[in-house]
Structure 1
Amino acid sequence: MNLKEDGGKVRRRGAALEQAILDAAWEVLAEQGYPGFTYEAVAARAGTSRPVLYRRWPQHEDLLLATVRRFRRSQPIEVPDTGSLREDAIGFLRNADVGRARMLTLLSVQITDYFREIGMSLGELRDTLRPGDQPPPFDTILARAVERGELAGPPRSPRVVSLPFDLYRHEVFMSMKPVPDQVIREIVDELWLPLLGVR
């Protein structure tokens, strides 16, 4: 519930306040990187005080993870269901290019010091942020293909299943920009589908 403060200003509470703080925190992180990601900077950008932040996120790491998690959840990647394994895979990588390229670039450049400081790898961060009730997207894409009879269903290595997104992420990290559509198609057509035994 929002309450009026003196002077007619709106006092934000609960979810509204938390959302405003995390939005401000993402802006600070994107602009200043991990070295500038301080309680003081976030509080100033959000128009609140440091004690308000400390009560919600007692550790600096807590605030950083909450910030990245909020941005990630606000930019969901749609998993297409086109009726074609190839089109689903290409469509998902295209959607990722629209929704995640900027985030992946930021994570690789702006918070390298964070990984160094706490000894967490990017893979461990991904596992921390991934919702526990959602299967990885390419698991879903393959399961649908098996249900349609488009693909046989023997067990596959998790490394093979996740290969398209792993290669996509590598391209983003190496180029620091969105991945060209030609490269997305090459990842699927020349590498992944042959590994799955699909022509």
Structure 2
Amino acid sequence: MTSAAPVTKPGRKRDHTRDPEILDAAIEVLAENGYDCMTIDQVAARAKAGKATLYRRWPSKAELVIDAVGCLKKDSYENLPDTGTLRGDLLAMMRPPTIEDAQKKIRIMSGVVSMLDRSPELGEALRAAMVEPRAAANRVLMRRAIDRGEIRADCDIEMLAMVSASMVFYRTMIMRQAVDREFLVSIIDEVLLPAVRKTDTEVTDR
């Protein structure tokens, strides 16, 4: 008669309840120090968690950053403004907290530039969390303006939806200048609206 195999006790189940706090701490450290200068020790100290806890959950700094960026709170554009004009809608989306949050996201993006070539996953996480929500909102507002006959029906919505984000990124990353309401309004009035405005002939034919 063969003896029964010894019963193996399952390992202790990992506690993920603190994950949101740790990921928030990772984002704060990333925005302040950039990826290259960021350390697991700094994140653990900010989250008041043990370093071993972080390494059990995220074996590398890169994996922690990808998860943190992927879990960023995405801007909510479910209830888009409807003022009756494209300009009014775009201005209504420019709330002070939105501008501050955009500046923080730019700092995060600048902090991970050195890692993008090594991690396509991070690039996708950045796009999904930081770029696509606002671009999607811009597409909705422009399509709505087309439907009411306010702007050209043949304008390139996909390209124009990315204009403001691209200019904000360039101003912050390359020019090293702050983004304020005045700058954002100038993008609307000097770039977006002229690009979608109907010609005199189109207006006359209505």
* TM-score normalised by structure 1 residue count: 0.70
1:165 maps onto 2:165 in alignment: yes
> Which residue does the alignment assign to 1:184?
184
Equivalent position SS for 1:35: coil
The one-letter code of the counterpart of 1:44 is A
For residues 89 and 159 of structure 2, the distance between their equivalents in structure 1, rounded to whole angstroms, comes to 18
1:196 maps onto 2:196 in alignment: yes
Q: Is the 8 A contact 2:139 2:157 kept in 1?
A: no
Q: Is the 8 A contact 1:94 1:184 kept in 2?
A: no
Number of aligned pairs?
A: 183
Deviation by residue 1:148-189 (Cα, 9 ceiling, x = unmatched): 343353362522332233223322323445323332222111
Deviation by residue 1:26-65 (Cα, 9 ceiling, x = unmatched): 2322333323322233223322233432343334222102
Structure 1 residues 125-144: aligned runs within 5 Å = 126-129=126-129, 136-144=136-144
Q: Which deviates more, 36-45 or 128-137?
A: 128-137
Question: How high is the sequence identity, in percent, across the aligned residues?
Answer: 27
More helix by share: 1
Unaligned runs of 5+ in 2: 1-14, 200-206
- Cα deviation for residue 66 of structure 1 reads 2.1
For residues 24 and 156 of structure 1, the distance between their equivalents in structure 2, rounded to whole angstroms, comes to 39
> Which residue does the alignment assign to 1:28?
29
For residues 18 and 165 of structure 1, the distance between their equivalents in structure 2, rounded to whole angstroms, comes to 29
Aligned-residue CA RMSD in angstroms? 3.5
> Which residue does the alignment assign to 1:87?
88
The one-letter code of the counterpart of 1:30 is A
1:14 maps onto 2:16 in alignment: yes
The one-letter code of the counterpart of 1:86 is R
Unaligned runs of 5+ in 1: 1-12
> Which residue does the alignment assign to 1:8?
none
Structure 1 residues 50-65: aligned runs within 5 Å = 50-65=51-66
> Which residue does the alignment assign to 2:102?
100
For residues 92 and 185 of structure 1, the distance between their equivalents in structure 2, rounded to whole angstroms, comes to 11
